[in-house]
Structure 1
């Protein structure tokens, strides 16, 4: 085989072989700035898991239970948790400022004192709302968990042929490092990457991503993720 043909064969083999995809996960903080998410679990699948979940939900005998009541309870607790998160972020910012040279230390100490008082008040409000509605939320969530266990029980059996049909391996997991980056090695073919992360301003919601792999670098952030309730 001539040298040009050998080089062409090597290029084609590389194109058809496994590839490494760099993935960064970040979320918006209380100040709306994107921050990396360490320890986020990434799952690469050779099919769109959302379409499979929607199929199973369409076959459910009953819809997801208690959605309206849980939404109402979550709304009641959102403001106290947001106040707690905001006060905590302000305290961290003030303490960082106090470490810088040539700062107005007296002013910052006054701001720190006020923010610490706000934090203490926010904690009292959060404790009160948890005591008032927490048990009801836990009870409703147990019903939702039973519904999910029943509704999605056929997930693995439906996913298996979608994997075998393309002659591909199953889920490819990885975890982001301290900088929010992970490197996922995926075989040839179409793949989707899914992940979740906490919502820093609302413990009753989380960030969710399920995106097709379209290049060698992916960024999962607040622009292409969705915030979902924790039903």
Structure 2
């Protein structure tokens, strides 16, 4: 668990948005290929005297990797910024797992009609477990969801006008996917990481609620019209919820 003192310190920093660097540092995990680079993600500290990480923390204006004594090891910006002329727009989001073991950070840059986006799945020492170019945020949703222990990431990607939602293990392995979706309206992972949920619809398909059993490799597609009205999500134990209430199983 992350100390309360650290949480208070991060909240106190919320009013100070991170400033983009004019020059990239020597080592950057991603973003260097863009004409207007993202804020950098630095590699973990290599010196032997560096404090051991305590975990990731999502503060209002940043995503922070901190040591047990409160030392900030990494800080990634969260928010929206734009150039004075409005030509360049940058959006960044992030979230940490409940236990602070892992996190995800997403960045999207738009310049004119051109856009570029990338999401990284981050481990406890700041290492990148998986990089997802083209990851995007469906309307009204974040681009990803984490299990409570951070061992499962469910992320949305948009390619050629179609959505794909894929679950990844902590080792970066693809576990299951929902593909060729026209719209994605819900993304959820159970706290224990056993199940994932994707609510979606296709061009010629009605809305579906797909349940993915990530341990058994099984999939269940439920027509939304046969379920109680949403929003749909998963309880900590993987039970399907509609508007916060368990959905009874049908024979």
- More strand by proportion, 1 or 2? 2
Q: State TM-score, norm by structure 1.
A: 0.21
- Decide which structure has the larger Cα Rg and report it: 1
The structure whose RCO (Cα within 8 Å, separation 6+) is larger is: 1
Q: State TM-score, norm by structure 2.
A: 0.20
